[in-house]
């Protein structure tokens, strides 16, 4: 638990994993740009290559500003604190519509929360808050804040579905497939 502004954080996570993906994409882009730049003698093509590479790198950096954040689940509210821009978003649990647990091979487990805004429904994706039985405790804690929150687990055959929804879940999935 982390204390901040007299609030106790029960759960927290971050989306900083996306920084590594952006760095990897930037390195690949730089390598492709360098190979085009060094293989040609035309100053025009070199200039276009450098300009195009810099524009794409700038757009990756701009995009990172909106997806890299830490999320804190306080007793009274959810706070999303963006790392690369000085912005904090505060959400009430009544604004939260759903949460999704995403488990994909060769990638860290992720959560995606869905919440209502003035402009409709938005979502934020971040590394999983908790795993296995701790995730079930987290869901129970969230449901105590807002019982209308929809919970889903991807893939549909993930063992958490059976733990959360009971042994009848597998039979239901087999019937619907």
- pLDDT in the model for residue 34: 86
Could you read off the pLDDT of 117-128 as tens digits, one per residue?
888 999 999 999
3-class SS at 177?
A: coil
Q: What is the mean pLDDT of the chain?
A: 84
**pTM across the whole model:** 0.76
- β-pairing, 96-102 with 150-154? parallel
Q: Which residue has the higher pLDDT, 109 or 169?
A: 109
pLDDT band at 8 (very low <50, low <70, confident <90, very high): low
SS3 141: helix
Query: Is the pLDDT reported for residue 87 higher than 70?
Result: yes
What is the structure's pLDDT at 115?
94
Segment 144-161 mean pLDDT: 87
Per-residue pLDDT averaged across 3-16, rounded? 68
Note the CATH number of domain 2-15+68-176. Answer: 2.30.29.30
Q: By C-alpha distance, which of 105, 93, 102 is closest to 142? A: 93
Distance separating alpha carbons of residues 83 and 49, to the nearest angstrom: 31
């Amino acid at each position: 638990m982390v204390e901040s502004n007299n609030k106790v954080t029960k759960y927290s996570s971050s989306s900083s994993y996306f920084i590594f993906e952006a760095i990897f994409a930037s390195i690949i882009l730089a390598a492709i740009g360098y190979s085009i730049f060094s293989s040609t003698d035309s100053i025009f093509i070199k200039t276009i290559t450098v300009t195009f590479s810099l524009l794409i790198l700038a757009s990756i950096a701009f995009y990172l500003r909106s997806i890299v954040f830490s999320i804190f689940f306080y007793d009274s509210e959810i706070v999303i604190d963006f790392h690369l821009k000085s912005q904090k978003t505060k959400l009430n649990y009544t604004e939260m519509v759903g949460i999704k647990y995403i488990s994909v091979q060769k990638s860290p487990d992720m959560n995606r929360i869905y919440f209502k805004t003035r402009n409709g429904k938005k979502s934020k994706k971040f590394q999983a808050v908790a795993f296995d039985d701790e995730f079930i405790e987290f869901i129970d804690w969230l449901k105590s804040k807002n019982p209308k929150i929809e919970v889903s687990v991807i893939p549909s055959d993930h063992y958490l579905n059976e733990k959360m929804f009971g042994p009848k879940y597998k039979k239901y999935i087999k019937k619907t497939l």
